[in-house]
């Protein structure tokens, strides 16, 4: 199976294209170039604190989804230099569009979230072959490493959370990982995107399809992991927006995502995954950008989220949970 056309480029080729955006952390850097055909090329490379090149060894498992399915393109990359190159029809992520409070921007994000949900549902149905080494999503691995390691954020977090909250959180990483069947359903493990964030979802700038950058974080686990990851982003964005008196709480967008995905996911696991996403973002920020006093607010927020098991991430009455 394949989910993208060959991009065939070299670092020198990319340097000759217009650069429209560039940003990064110690984990990963991203450069967005305007392609000659009017689309955009997203080149992701390892940051200064990342060991080794970026790779997507299981990308061949990702299905191609025709546009008429209404699903986002699961945009698998090509290896270019020490990084990965994706093609998309947009130059900004859904996370960036959510900072634009115009109604048309919000409608674009809603459409992209719905198409991403449809794509994830298909991805989750792909059998996981025994001969492909798919383990825990890298984001969960980094979270566990942080929880068992030493850092200023770890010390400050434990002072507020206590050991019991940390233990619960670590248990959830196991429940949503590649081997556990937390709900006792006997369901086989699924192929999961591993980083289904609004930062990886690229709405089209004008024409074309939404693209979900896919490949590097592919793993095995519970489907609820991917849904909760996106919902956790929306919970965090809504929380941050309240601080600047934004009228947008993202409840409608969370409902759009779950309704488009459809029935089946366990709402408890979805909520717990949303908490893992917010904690992972907090941990990654501290590790790859450095300490900021804003993290004290995140510590308080994540304590609340753990206590409620992420229930605020899952709107009541959404069709996509059972």
Annotated domain spans of the chain: 92-313
Overall CATH class of domain 92-313: alpha beta
pLDDT score of 130: 78
pLDDT tens digits, 193-252: 999 999 999 999 988 999 999 999 999 999 999 999 999 999 999 998 775 444 456 889
pLDDT, position 2: 37
| DSSP string covering 20-37 | EEEEE-SSEEEEEEE-TT
Cα-Cα-Cα-Cα torsion 74, 86, 214, 89, nearest 10 degrees, comes to -40
- Which of 303, 307, 308, 310 is CA-nearest to residue 161? 303
String of DSSP letters for 135-196: -S-HHHHHHHHHHHS--HHHHHHHHHH-HHHHHHHHHHHHHTSSS--TT---PPPEEE-S--
Share of the chain above pLDDT 70, in %: 91
Residue 245: its pLDDT value, please?
Answer: 43
User: Is residue 275 within 8 Å of residue 249, measured between CB atoms?
Assistant: no
* pLDDT at residue 7 in the model: 55
Supply 74's token pair: 């699961």
pLDDT recorded at residue 11: 79
State which residues of the chain have pLDDT below 70: 1-9, 179-188, 243-249, 319, 322
Return the pLDDT at 312. Answer: 94
| Rounded Cα distance, 194 and 228, in Å | 11
What is the per-residue pLDDT for 101?
81
* Number of residues that make up the chain: 322
For residue 177, the model assigns a pLDDT of 87
What single-letter DSSP state applies at residue 17? S
Res 316: pLDDT: 83
| Predicted local confidence at residue 9, as pLDDT | 64
């Amino acid at each position: 199976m394949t989910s993208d056309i060959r991009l065939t480029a070299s670092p020198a080729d990319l340097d000759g294209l217009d650069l429209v955006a560039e940003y990064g952390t110690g984990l990963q850097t991203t450069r967005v170039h305007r392609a000659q055909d009017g689309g955009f090329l997203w080149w992701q490379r390892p940051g200064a604190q990342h060991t080794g090149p970026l790779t997507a060894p299981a990308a061949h498992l990702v299905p191609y989804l025709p546009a008429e399915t209404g699903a986002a393109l699961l945009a698998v990359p090509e290896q270019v230099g020490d990084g990965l190159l994706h093609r998309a029809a947009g130059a900004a992520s859904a996370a960036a569009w959510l900072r634009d409070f115009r109604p048309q921007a919000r409608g674009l994000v809603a459409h992209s979230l719905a198409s991403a949900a449809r794509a994830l549902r298909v991805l989750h149905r792909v059998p996981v072959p025994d001969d492909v080494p798919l383990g825990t999503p890298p984001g969960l691995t980094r979270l566990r490493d942080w929880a068992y390691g030493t850092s200023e954020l770890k010390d400050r977090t434990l002072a507020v959370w206590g050991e019991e909250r940390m233990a619960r959180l670590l248990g959830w990483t196991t429940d949503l990982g590649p081997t556990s069947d937390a709900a006792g359903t006997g369901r086989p493990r699924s192929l999961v995107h591993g980083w289904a964030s609004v930062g990886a979802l690229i709405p089209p700038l004008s024409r074309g399809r939404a693209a979900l950058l896919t490949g590097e974080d592919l793993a095995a686990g519970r489907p609820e992991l991917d849904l909760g990851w996106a919902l956790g982003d929306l919970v965090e964005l809504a929380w941050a927006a309240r601080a600047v008196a934004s009228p947008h709480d993202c409840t409608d967008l969370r409902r759009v995502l779950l309704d488009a995905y459809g029935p089946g996911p366990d709402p408890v696991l979805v909520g717990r995954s949303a908490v893992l996403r917010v904690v992972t973002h907090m941990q990654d920020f501290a590790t790859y950008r450095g300490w900021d006093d804003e993290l004290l607010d995140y510590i308080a927020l994540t304590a609340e989220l753990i206590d409620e098991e992420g229930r605020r991430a899952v709107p009541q009455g959404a069709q996509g949970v059972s």
